[in-house]
Amino acid sequence: MNENNNNQNGGDKKNNRQPFYTLGILVLIALFFTSMMYKGSSSSNNQEITYTEFLQLVEEDKVDSVTFKDDVINIELKEGVTYGVSEEDAAKLKQLYEATGQSTKSTLYTAYIGIEDKDLMPLLKKHNVEIDGTIPDSTAAIIYNILSFVLPLVLLWVILGYLM
């Protein structure tokens, strides 16, 4: 009879762990989808271009404003100017934006060359481009690194601890 009770208690311990396994797997799946959505939302409205293409757009007076953020230049084109889209598609986009009341400004980005290009600021000023910059926030980077790297490792360690 004692063996029967011991087997039942051993079985209960395994059954008690199952909610933790399920919770751990759900948390990992949620982190995966959150990461995928973050990547998708950050790249859906922006298009990467080369630095040379950026300079050409400035010289053609198609750039409304630029924002320097870390090692990236965010480029906002003037109203109605499109880049990398055929004229037919641009007309359709314009109609869609006007129908929904959205702005027709396109946003691009490129790598910031930095000090190597001393002619950039005079070029931007010459073509009346609005220049802005952002101060990097190291706290957000630290929190992001903790949440995206350390937290999944800790969760994996806890889950594997329950499995062993």
Give the pLDDT confidence of 13-57 residue by residue, as tens digits. 555 667 777 777 877 787 777 776 665 544 445 788 998 899 999
- What is the rounded CA–CA span in Å between residue 25 and residue 29? 6
Q: What is the pLDDT of residue 1?
A: 47
Question: 145 and 117 in one domain?
Answer: no
Question: 96 and 162 in one domain?
Answer: no
Q: Is the pLDDT of residue 3 over 60?
A: no
Question: 22 and 62 in one domain?
Answer: no
Question: 149 and 162 in one domain?
Answer: yes
Question: 66 and 4 in one domain?
Answer: no
* Average pLDDT of the residues in 88-95: 72
Question: 18 and 80 in one domain?
Answer: no
Question: 129 and 78 in one domain?
Answer: yes
Question: 60 and 24 in one domain?
Answer: no
Q: Is the pLDDT of residue 71 over 90?
A: no
Question: 126 and 57 in one domain?
Answer: yes
Q: In which domain, by residue range, is 109 found? A: 46-133
Question: 50 and 37 in one domain?
Answer: no
Between 154 and 40, the higher pLDDT residue: 154
Question: 52 and 23 in one domain?
Answer: no
Q: How confident is the model at residue 63 (pLDDT cuts 50, 70, 90)?
A: very high
Question: 52 and 37 in one domain?
Answer: no
Q: What is the pLDDT of residue 42?
A: 46
Q: Is the pLDDT of residue 92 over 60?
A: yes
Q: Is the pLDDT of residue 72 over 60?
A: yes
Pairing mode of beta strands 107-111, 72-77? antiparallel
* Average pLDDT of the residues in 74-90: 77
Alpha-carbon distances of 153 from 18, 34, 43, 147, 149, rounded to whole Å: 20, 16, 27, 10, 7
Place of tokens 């751990």: 24
Q: What is the pLDDT of residue 13?
A: 56
What phi-psi label fits residue 159: left (phi over 0), alpha (psi between -120 and 50 degrees) or beta?
Answer: alpha
Q: How many domains does the chain have?
A: 2
Residues of the chain above pLDDT 90, percent: 13
Q: Is the pLDDT of residue 145 over 90?
A: no
Name the average pLDDT for the chain. Answer: 75
